């Protein structure tokens, strides 16, 4: 069924092709000598890896917003939780190489005069446990939150507002030192992952490839889910929720299932993001981040999945460029872009391309 879905999915074919080419070409071009015209510096590799994880987050948001009509303004919370789970693993890998050289406790706990590891840090020495938590913690939170919200039929603007409240509450909680997640400094100063030095070029290439692969698999999963009857039920719920109920569909279960899968994807994106940027702190929970993701999806084109990838890459590239060259312009450019897209391109950048293709 997936193959059949991909056959009708031009944008998806292009995306998969580009990702496969990147996974092979970027490591090769990185090997060229630094003076060479085609040399891709490691800094750029990591930057691209970071963009790819953000694109995966955008795909996760498109799954719930584009197909199911849930305007989530809190998905960065799931992204950050996945990031924190990975960050905790990376903290445990530091061992006694911290500033205080304590073999048992991370630096910030030594600084707070704690004498033993809190219970919720147990198990994060092991990669498999951390990887499991990357999926389980965001998934569980989304499940509980979704069960409460969707059962009581909260939808529309009200749901958007409580997703904002969710991520804001988490941000405030993670800012507190007593929480045991490093307070406002967050988790940083990572040394290695699975025994590989995080500063080494080869590790950075590995993380880049892992990010591209995660985006590829995440895209395929979402495409698979939305290609069958579930996708049509989602669209039905998005466009006429009560009608879907009168057809006998348990709307809340559909929403809950898709929302949970989406949160888990966001968690994976966060877990791959953290080792590449080298830090995770409570700012990642800030409500503004979640809103920005929605802007990426809107700019790229809703309910296409590949549009979310395009939007995330275009805007983040623009962000990197503008904040370096014209820092005072960036926020105006972002706001202006959102207005222009909403007014002139309701189906986003990819909608424009599709229209051109259809008329050709």
As a three-state string, the secondary structure of 224-282 is HHHHCHHHHHHHHHHHCHHHHHHCCCCHHHHHHHHHHHHHHHHHHHHHHHHHHHCEECH
Q: Residue 258's closest CA among 299, 303, 296?
A: 303
Query: Least distance to another protein from the beta carbon of 251, Å?
Result: 8
CA distances to 89, 165, 168, 235, 344 from 69, rounded to whole Å, are 35, 19, 22, 8, 21
Closer by beta carbon to another protein, 36 or else 232 = 232
Strand partners, 181: none
- CB of residue 342 to another protein, shortest distance in Å: 19
The footprint of another protein (CB under 8 A) covers: 1, 225, 228-230, 232-233, 235-236, 239-240, 242-251, 253-254, 257
**Shortest separation between residue 1's beta carbon and another protein, angstroms:** 8
Residue number, 249 or 338, with CB nearest to another protein: 249
In the complex, the smallest distance separating the C-beta of residue 184 from another protein, rounded to whole angstroms, is 40
- Least spacing, CB of residue 146 vs another protein, in Å: 13
Pairwise CA distance, residues 145 & 141, whole Å = 6
CB of 239 or CB of 357, closer to another protein: 239
Q: Give the nearest distance from C-beta 248 to another protein in angstroms.
A: 4
Task: Give the list of residues 6+ apart from residue 160 with CB closer than 8 angstroms, or none.
Answer: 71, 72, 73
Decide: 225 and 258 in contact? Cβ < 8 Å.
yes
What is residue 197's three-state secondary structure?
strand
Radius of gyration of the chain (CA): 21
């Amino acid at each position: 069924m997936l193959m059949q879905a991909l056959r009708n999915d031009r944008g998806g074919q292009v995306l998969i092709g580009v990702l496969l080419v990147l996974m092979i070409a970027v490591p090769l071009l990185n090997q060229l000598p630094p003076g060479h015209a085609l040399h891709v510096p490691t800094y750029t590799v990591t930057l691209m890896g970071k963009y790819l994880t953000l694109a995966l987050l955008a795909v996760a948001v498109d799954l719930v917003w584009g197909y199911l009509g849930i305007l989530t303004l809190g998905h960065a919370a799931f992204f950050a939780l996945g990031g924190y789970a990975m960050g905790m693993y990376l903290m445990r890998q530091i061992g006694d190489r911290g500033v205080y050289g304590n073999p048992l406790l991370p630096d910030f706990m030594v600084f707070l005069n704690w004498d033993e590891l809190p219970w919720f840090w147990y198990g994060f020495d092991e990669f498999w446990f951390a990887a499991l938590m990357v999926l389980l913690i965001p998934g569980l939170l989304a499940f509980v939150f979704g069960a409460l919200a969707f059962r009581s039929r909260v939808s529309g603007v009200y749901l958007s507002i409580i997703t904002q409240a969710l991520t804001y509450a988490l941000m405030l909680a993670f800012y507190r030192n007593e929480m045991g997640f490093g307070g406002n400094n967050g988790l940083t100063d990572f040394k290695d992952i699975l025994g590989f030095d995080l500063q080494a070029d080869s590790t950075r290439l590995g993380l880049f490839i892992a990010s591209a692969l995660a985006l590829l698999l995440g895209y395929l999963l979402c495409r698979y889910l939305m290609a069958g009857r579930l996708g049509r039920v989602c669209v039905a719920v998005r466009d006429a929720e009560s009608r879907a109920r009168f057809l006998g569909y348990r709307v809340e279960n559909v929403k809950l299932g898709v929302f949970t899968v989406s949160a888990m994807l966001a968690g994976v994106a966060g877990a791959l993001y953290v080792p590449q940027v080298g830090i995770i702190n409570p700012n990642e929970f800030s409500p503004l981040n979640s809103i920005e993701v929605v802007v990426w999806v809107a700019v790229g084109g809703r309910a296409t999945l590949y549009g979310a990838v395009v939007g995330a890459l275009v805007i983040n590239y623009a962000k990197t460029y503008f904040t370096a060259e014209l820092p005072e312009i960036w926020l105006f450019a972002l706001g202006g872009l959102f207005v222009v897209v909403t007014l002139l391109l309701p189906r986003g950048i990819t909608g424009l391309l599709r229209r051109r293709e259809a008329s050709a």
